[in-house]
């Protein structure tokens, strides 16, 4: 993401803008949908495929080809044809990243036909922005660069996604989903869609019980509960959860747990530093609303819990813990683990943290 200069929130904003334009019937002659996050590419392409033409026109005026089986010249010829039985035609190029000499499509994107909507789905990576293909799409069409979210960016997107469905989601339920599914937006959207169908009519709030009942993630044994137990130095509860993780290693991979713990102790480190600045430098301690933005927390209750636990975790200890988490992050990937299981590694890590 650093190379492109595009952040996840930029991709979301561009996707929302283009979606609104399509729903309003404003179509560009060329859509270059590119990048490593396939969810936005697939969803926008599917929306265009359902929207530009009505059902009776699609049989004659909508063509889908695949990059591996198609040459740029063939696509250009299809786009230059006059539509049959309608004002426009749609040409969809799926898996365009597999097309040989795709740069030759620039011969079309620099001067697209007004009666054709060309949709180029280029996944896995972005088209070179110095290329004539990209420049032509920018000048005469619309470009969506879709980047993957970082772990701390997924929660705000998910909260907004649920809000658009007319519901809210509890912070614990949110954490359960993201811990279990990671940052795979397509998986999260699929699971949420199934969940929304299963919820009783009139439901306005998604809780941890809803997640457990409909998605099968335990509300008592998850990374959210482990972080909470560790935050309060509850050794018995922490080790009980770790034991559950050890018995279900596929559901609770060590890497995701380490990432969750790292996020929490990073927040503690920042909070402690802000408090130190307020005491020693006279810099005003931020109000909770500002703290939520700084610490990337979407819930005021989480801020209250961090503040309450901060005295238990001075930054001298937190700094050492962050070092331990980096060490066990490497071990979770098989480096210097010595054949130790994830469950054993997690128990060892928790004991080291709690003994500090």
231 and 349 part of one domain: yes
Give the pLDDT confidence score for residue 56 in this predicted structure. 87
Instruction: Say whether pLDDT at 2 is over 60.
Output: no
Does residue 269 have a pLDDT over 50? yes
Q: How many domains does the chain have?
A: 3
Report the CATH number that the domain containing residue 48 is assigned in CATH. Answer: 3.40.50.300
> Are 188 and 89 within one domain?
no
Residues 207-228: pLDDT tens digits?
999 988 888 788 888 898 999 9
**CATH code of 202's domain:** 1.10.8.60
Q: Residue 145 has what pLDDT?
A: 96
pLDDT tens for 225-243 read 999 999 999 999 999 999 9
In this structure, what CATH number is given to the domain that contains residue 261? 1.20.272.10
Last residue of one domain, picked from the residues 146, 171, 198: 146
Model pLDDT for residues 14-70, shown as the tens digit of each residue: 999 999 999 999 999 999 999 999 999 999 999 999 999 998 899 889 999 999 999
Which pLDDT band, with edges at 50, 70 and 90, does 250 fall under? confident
Range of the domain at 158: 154-215
Q: Which of 24-28, 104-108, 167-171 shows the lowest mean pLDDT across its residues?
A: 167-171
Residue 75 reports pLDDT greater than 60: yes
Last residue in a domain, options 185, 215, 245: 215
pTM here?
Answer: 0.72
C-alpha–C-alpha distance, residues 147 and 124, integer Å: 10
3 in a domain, yes or no?
Answer: no
On whether residue 282 sits in a domain, the answer given is yes
Sign of CA dihedral 126, 132, 134, 135: positive
Q: 260 and 310 share a domain?
A: yes
| 46 falls within a domain | yes
> How sure is the predictor about 4, in pLDDT bands with cuts at 50, 70 and 90?
low
Does residue 189 sit in the same domain as residue 261?
A: no
61 domain-assigned = yes
Residue where a domain terminates, one of 178, 197, 215: 215
**In the numeric block, which tokens belong to residue 68?**
């591996």
Q: Looking at the predicted structure, is the pLDDT value of residue 192 above 90?
A: no
**Position 48 in a domain:** yes
- Quick check: 131 pLDDT over 90? yes
Indicate if 110 and 42 belong to the same structural domain: yes
* 22 and 104 housed in the same domain: yes
Same domain, 134 and 237: no
- The per-residue pLDDT of the chain, averaged, comes to 91
85 in a structural domain: yes
Based on the domain organization, do 323 and 236 belong to the same domain? yes
Domain co-membership, 208 together with 269:
no
Asked if residue 108 is part of any domain, the answer here is yes
Q: Are residues 255 and 209 in the same domain?
A: no
Residues 121 and 174 in one domain: no
Residue 111 — pLDDT band, cuts 50, 70, 90?
very high
For range 287-311, the mean pLDDT:
88
- Residue 257 domain-assigned (yes or no): yes
How high is the pLDDT of residue 153?
85
Query: Does the pLDDT of residue 284 top 90, yes or no?
Result: yes
Look-up of token digits 């560009």: 28
Three-state secondary structure string covering the chain = CCCCCCCHHHHHHHHHHHHHHHHCCCCCCEEEEEECCHHHHHHHHHHHHHHCCCHHHHHHHEEEEEHHHCCHHHHHHHHHCCCCCCCCEEEEEECHHHCCCHHHHHHHHCCCCCCEEEEEEEECCCCCCCCHHHHHHHHHCEEEEECCCCCCCHHHHHHHHHHHCCCEECHHHHHHHHHHHCCCHHHHHHHHHHHHHHCCCCCCEECHHHHHHHHCCCCCCCHHHHHHHHHCCCHHHHHHHHHHHHHCCCCCCHHHHHHHHHHHHHHHHHHHHHHHHHHHCCCCCCCHHHHHHHHCCCCHHHHHHHHHHHHHCCHHHHHHHHHHHHHHHHHHCCCCCCCCCHHHHHHHHHHHHHCC
One domain, residues 315 and 346: yes
Report d(CA 295, CA 266) in Å as an integer: 9
């Amino acid at each position: 993401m650093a190379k492109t200069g595009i952040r996840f929130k930029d991709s979301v904003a561009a996707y929302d803008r283009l979606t609104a334009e399509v729903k309003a019937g404003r179509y560009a002659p060329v859509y270059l949908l590119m990048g490593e996050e396939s969810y936005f590419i697939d969803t926008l392409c599917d929306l265009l495929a359902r929207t530009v033409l009505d059902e009776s026109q699609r049989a004659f005026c909508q063509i889908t080809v695949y990059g591996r089986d198609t040459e740029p010249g063939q696509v250009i010829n299809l786009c230059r044809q006059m539509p049959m039985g309608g004002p426009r035609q749609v040409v969809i190029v799926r898996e365009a990243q597999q097309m040989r000499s795709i740069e030759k499509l620039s011969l079309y994107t620099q001067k697209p036909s007004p009666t054709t909507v060309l949709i180029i789905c280029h996944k896995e990576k972005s088209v070179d922005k110095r290329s004539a293909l990209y420049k032509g799409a920018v000048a005469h069409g619309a470009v969506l660069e879709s980047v993957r979210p970082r772990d701390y960016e997924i929660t705000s997107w998910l909260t907004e996604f649920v809000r658009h469905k007319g519901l809210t989601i509890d912070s614990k339920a949110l954490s359960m989903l993201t811990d279990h599914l990671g940052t795979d937006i397509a998986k999260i959207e699929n699971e949420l869609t199934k969940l929304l169908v299963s919820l009783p009519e009139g439901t306005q709030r998604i809780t941890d019980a809803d997640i457990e009942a409909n998605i099968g993630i335990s509300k008592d044994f998850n990374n959210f509960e482990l972080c909470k137990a560790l935050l309060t130095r509850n050794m018995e509860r922490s080790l009980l959860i770790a034991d559950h993780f050890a018995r279900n290693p596929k559901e609770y991979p060590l890497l995701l747990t380490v990432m969750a713990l790292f996020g929490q102790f990073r927040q503690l480190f920042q909070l402690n530093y802000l408090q130190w600045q307020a005491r020693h430098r006279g810099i005003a301690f931020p109000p909770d609303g500002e703290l939520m933005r700084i610490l990337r927390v979407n819930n005021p209750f989480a801020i209250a819990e961090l503040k309450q636990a901060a005295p238990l975790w001075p930054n001298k200890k937190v700094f050492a813990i962050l070092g331990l988490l980096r060490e066990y992050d490497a071990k979770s990937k098989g480096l210097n683990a010595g054949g130790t299981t994830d469950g054993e590694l997690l128990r060892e890590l928790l004991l080291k943290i709690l003994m500090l």
